[in-house]
Amino acid sequence: MSQRGRPRTFDRDDALRRAMELFWEKGYGGASLADLTETMGINSPSLYAAFGSKQALFDEAVDLYARTESPEIWEALSVEPTARDAVASFLRLTALSFSRPGKPAGCLIVLGALHDSDASAEACAALRRHRAENVEAVRARLERGIAEGDVPAGTDCETVARFFLTVQQGMSIQARDGATRERLHALAEGAMAAWDGLVGATATR
Amino acid sequence: MSQRGRPRTFDRDDALRRAMELFWEKGYGGASLADLTETMGINSPSLYAAFGSKQALFDEAVDLYARTESPEIWEALSVEPTARDAVASFLRLTALSFSRPGKPAGCLIVLGALHDSDASAEACAALRRHRAENVEAVRARLERGIAEGDVPAGTDCETVARFFLTVQQGMSIQARDGATRERLHALAEGAMAAWDGLVGATATR
DNA sequence: ATGATTATGTATCGATCATTACATAATGGA
DNA sequence: TCCATTATGTAATGATCGATACATAATCAT
């Protein structure tokens, strides 16, 4: 089936990528339609025809972000041989991702929409869902560590995962406050200093 | 000198406190003038006459927050006998403060305004200044620990302080995501598991 | 060539944003 | 009592918000 009607004159993927970076920099509420259309190089009717609404555009932008920005962070969870190596790599790659020259500092999933009380309620809920998935991914990796013997049996993987995700989320704030790549890396190392105490303390012995 | 003219019919301190809680819940950008006047129980001309502008009101609200909401968190830094006890208490009291029934979850200083690109640039800068002061307060307490002998000489207090503040900032996100008081407490404990590794690793031996 | 279909640019929609003019009301000082 | 001063409520300001109406342009199927 071929396309009918007048073809669009802009690259949808490219426009979406630009919108994603604007949402990343300014947040859902901070990125106005005027900002978006200017950044995307299109007029608002084209935006609405191609994406539906600001909210739908944001949803697509978040999906693009999760899919293309630093997937290595999550790939590390499965690639690294032990759970400890996996989390260490997860945090180290986060430090890199949050401090890329030419890209907004920190994480869209964390900084994109924090307050659900206003018109950005749906955007906030979508990001919250993503954050919950991220906790789950780390938790699952820790469980695998138990199964493979490199994490003490009985470790409270949920609690441990939430701790490391909390550090990662704090790193977004730090990155926005101007923390250098070296400082973010030190934070990752600092969090790993808690590993032995964490998996030891929450394990049944 | 006595007051002249018609006296105001509302309690300025009470109105400011209500505004603070609204900013705390919705953020600077998320709290509209209509929201504020409704919550404060006054009309906009009264608001402007008493506080000057939305930005000035926010500044006063942030000051009130820092002064009255959980000052015990910062008092603990000077009260506790050792730097380790001080940081542990700092985090434990943070967990309490971020999960008070009837109050917004998390911290106004962290969640109030994260994006400086929009109209909330000044609000964002003010909060950033507060966060920098908070790092400095913990760093100073760690330095005191060195002077008093309970922290290894040569410890990189700046790095260690930034780590614990990062966890505290991440706890604001977690609190907003619905983390219970118990979960926040577990995060505080988890961070303390990094103490020995952190102060040991960054100390010159 | 004609018509159905889809995209584009201009121009605008009502709603909401922060802020303020203005007339009126209530106080103290003279 | 009269005036200067300050606060209040109503109503409006221009700007910007997200979202569209509408006429025109460009493609495909027939």
The domain that holds B41 is classified in CATH as 1.10.10.60
Query: Residue A146 to residues A86, A156, A163, B190: CA-CA distances in angstroms?
Result: 13, 10, 18, 19
| Of residues B84, B88, B192, B199, the one with CA closest to residue A194 | B192
How far away is chain A from the Cα of B114, in angstroms, using its nearest Cα? 7
State whether B87 and B173 are in the same domain. Answer: yes
State whether B58 and B129 are in the same domain. Answer: no
- Show the low-confidence residues of chain B (pLDDT under 50): 1, 204-205
State whether B183 and B158 are in the same domain. Answer: yes
Eight-class DSSP state of A119:
T
Mean pLDDT by 10 residues, chain A (205 residues): 86 98 97 98 98 98 97 98 98 98 98 88 97 98 98 97 98 98 98 95 54
State whether B52 and B127 are in the same domain. Answer: no
In a domain, B138, yes or no: yes
The tally of domains found in chain A comes to: 2
User: Which residue from B minimizes the CA distance to A104?
Assistant: B115
Q: Within 11-40 of chain B, which residues have Cβ less than 7 Å from strand C?
A: 31-35
d(CA A103, CA A97) in angstroms, rounded, equals 9
| Of residues A47, A75, A42, A76, the one with CA closest to residue A60 | A47
State whether A48 and A95 are in the same domain. Answer: no
pLDDT of residue A162: 98
Strand C proximal to A1 Cβ, under 7 A: no
State whether B136 and B54 are in the same domain. Answer: no
State whether A29 and A104 are in the same domain. Answer: no
pLDDT of residue A54: 98
Q: Please answer yes or no on whether B173 and A26 come within 8 Å at the CB atom.
A: no
In a domain, B35, yes or no: yes
In a domain, A135, yes or no: yes
Could you tell me the distance in Å between the CA of residue A5 and the C1' of nucleotide D29?
10
In a domain, A119, yes or no: yes
Give yes or no for a contact between B108 and B62, defined as CB atoms under 8 angstroms apart: yes
Residues near A47 by beta carbon (within 8 Å), at least 6 away in sequence: A15, A33, A36, A37, A40, A57
pLDDT of residue B205: 45
State whether B142 and B51 are in the same domain. Answer: no
Q: Report pLDDT digits (tens) over A16-34.
A: 999 999 999 999 999 999 9
In a domain, A184, yes or no: yes
State whether B108 and B193 are in the same domain. Answer: yes
pLDDT of residue A205: 45
Identity of the amino acid at A28: Y
State whether B178 and B81 are in the same domain. Answer: yes
Domain end (from B45, B66, B87): B66
**What's the sign of the alpha-carbon dihedral B134, B135, B141, B143?**
negative
pLDDT of residue B202: 60
Residue A133 maps to which CATH number?
A: 1.10.357.10
Domain end (from A48, A66, A84): A66
pLDDT of residue B37: 98
User: Which residue from B minimizes the CA distance to A30?
Assistant: B118
pLDDT of residue B203: 54
Among chain B, residues having any CB pair with chain A shorter than 8 Å are 25-27, 29-30, 110-111, 114-115, 117-118, 120, 128, 131-132, 159-160, 162-163, 165-171, 173-174, 176-177, 179, 183, 186-187, 189-198, 201
d(CA A134, CA A127) in angstroms, rounded, equals 11
Domain end (from A23, A40, A66): A66
What's chain B look like in SS3?
A: CCCCCCCCCCCHHHHHHHHHHHHHHHHHHHCCHHHHHHHHCCCHHHHHHHHCCHHHHHHHHHHHHHHHCCCHHHHHHHHCCCHHHHHHHHHHHHHHHCCCCCCCCCCHHHHCCCCCCCCCHHHHHHHHHHHHHHHHHHHHHHHHHHHHCCCCCCCCHHHHHHHHHHHHHHHHHHHHCCCCHHHHHHHHHHHHCCHHHHHHHCCCC
Cα B15 versus chain centre, distance: 20
Identity of the amino acid at A172: S
State whether B132 and B180 are in the same domain. Answer: yes
Q: Determine the structural domain holding residue A32 and report its residue range.
A: 12-66
State whether A60 and A110 are in the same domain. Answer: no
Among chain A, residues having any CB pair with chain B shorter than 8 Å are 25-27, 29-30, 110-111, 114-115, 117-118, 120, 128, 131-132, 159-160, 162-163, 165-171, 173-174, 176-177, 179, 183, 186-187, 189-198, 201
pLDDT of residue A2: 62
Q: Report pLDDT digits (tens) over B19-35.
A: 999 999 999 999 999 99
d(CA A173, CA A110) in angstroms, rounded, equals 9
In a domain, A175, yes or no: yes
Tokens of A151: 């994490």
In a domain, A82, yes or no: yes
d(CA B80, CA A54) in angstroms, rounded, equals 50
Strand D proximal to B42 Cβ, under 7 A: yes
In a domain, A3, yes or no: no
Other C-beta atoms closer than 10 Å to the C-beta of A82 total: 15
d(CA B59, CA B16) in angstroms, rounded, equals 11
pLDDT of residue B200: 75
pLDDT of residue A192: 98
d(CA B19, CA B31) in angstroms, rounded, equals 9
Give yes or no for a contact between A6 and A17, defined as CB atoms under 8 angstroms apart: no
d(CA B205, CA B188) in angstroms, rounded, equals 28
